[in-house]
C-alpha cells in the first residue's frame, strides 16, 4: 500500500532549505545553489509527470466501464 495520500513529515529537506540563512553565501555559491535547485525542480517535475501517467493508466484499467 502506498502512502501518497498521507501528509509528509515536517522538517523535510525543502523546508529546511527555505529557512536557511543565505547571508554567508558568496555570489558564486548562490549561483551554484540556484543551478542545483533548478535541476532538482526539473527532476521532481519529471517524477510527477511519470506518476501522473502511471495513475492515469491505473485509473483507466481499474475504473468501471460504462455502457457494457
Per-residue pLDDT of the chain in tens (68 residues, 90 and over written 9): 456 667 766 678 888 889 999 999 999 999 999 999 999 999 999 999 999 999 999 888 888 877 55
CA 32, CA 42: separation in Å to the nearest integer? 16
DSSP 31-63: HHHHHHHHHHHHHHHHHHHHHHHHHHHHHHHHS
Q: Which residue has the cell 549561483?
A: 31
pLDDT value at residue 1: 46
pTM of the model: 0.67
pLDDT value at residue 64: 81
Amino acid at each position: 500500500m502506498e502512502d501518497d495520500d498521507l501528509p509528509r513529515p515536517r522538517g523535510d529537506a525543502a523546508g529546511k532549505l527555505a529557512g536557511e540563512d543565505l547571508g554567508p553565501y558568496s555570489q558564486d555559491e548562490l549561483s551554484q545553489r540556484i543551478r542545483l535547485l533548478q535541476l532538482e525542480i526539473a527532476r521532481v517535475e519529471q517524477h510527477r509527470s511519470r506518476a501522473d501517467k502511471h495513475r492515469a493508466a491505473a485509473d483507466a484499467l481499474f475504473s468501471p466501464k460504462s455502457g457494457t
